[in-house]
Amino acid sequence: DIKGFIFDLDGVVTDTSRYHAKAWGQLADKLGVDYPGLGDAVKGISRMDALEMILKKGGLENNYSEAEKEALAAEKNANYVNLIQNMSAKDILPGMADFLAELKDKGYGISLASASKNAPKILEKIGLSDYFTKAVDPATLKYGKPDPEIFIKGAQLLDLMPAQCIGLEDAAAGIAGINAAGETSVGIGDPELLHDATINFTDTSQVSLANIEKAMQ
């Protein structure tokens, strides 16, 4: 039986993935790297791994020292933090506030499995911190998504076995991590991109316990 839900943040609870895409796009432009599909490619990918992807795309992976890479990542993050400054509860994706309330009401465990070091700040801004007192700290991770580590830790925070958990993701890398953890995966977004998910919804407004139960039958 399902007893817990493990949430990705960016692109699932709130639409910050477009800000990540924009901030990385600004950095890629500055580096002269042409990267079609950059926005989807960096979904779920940690800050330093995403930087490496962009550098590789431009054949620049050996052009920068570790310190310079840290500076580039910090620059992207400054762009990003600037873009999320004015976020508020209006930026919660459709249906997600209701879904979280429903889960809490019915006693399901809720944890956060976001790769983002900005997650606490965003949850604060959109007013959902109280739902996510159990959150995996991405700074403690050895491996980023698609590795299952973050989703295994998300289940441990709930004192549950992976098989008792559902993970929700908008990124292909995230779905791969949920599946490898032995959890049930709910993909939110383009079903072609998220074809490995156990269940697919095209957008967050369809996410509810009833619809998940229906889809799992």
Q: Is 10 a catalytic residue?
A: yes
Question: Closest CB to ligand BG6 among 3 and 180?
Answer: 180
User: Residue 9 Cβ, how far from Mg ion at the closest point, in Å?
Assistant: 7
Q: Is 1 a catalytic residue?
A: no
Q: Is 129 annotated as a binding residue?
A: no
8 binds Mg ion (CB under 5 A): yes
The footprint of ligand BG6 (CB under 6 A) covers 9-10, 17, 20, 42-47, 50, 77, 114-118, 171
10 binds Mg ion (CB under 5 A): yes
**Could you tell which of ligand BG6, Mg ion, none binds residue 109, using a CB distance below 5 to 8 A set by kind?**
none
User: Residue 68 Cβ, how far from Mg ion at the closest point, in Å?
Assistant: 27
- Among residues 1, 10, 34, 203, the one annotated as catalytic is 10
**Could you tell which of Mg ion, ligand BG6, none binds residue 168, using a CB distance below 5 to 8 A set by kind?**
none
171 binds Mg ion (CB under 5 A): yes
**b/e burial code for range 5-17 (CB count within 10 A of at least 16 → b):** bbbbbbbbbbbbb
Q: Could you give the residue numbers annotated as active site?
A: 8, 10
Q: Which residues are annotated as a binding site?
A: 8-10, 24, 42-47, 76, 114-118, 145, 169-170
Q: Which residues are annotated as a binding site for Mg(2+)?
A: 8, 10, 169-170
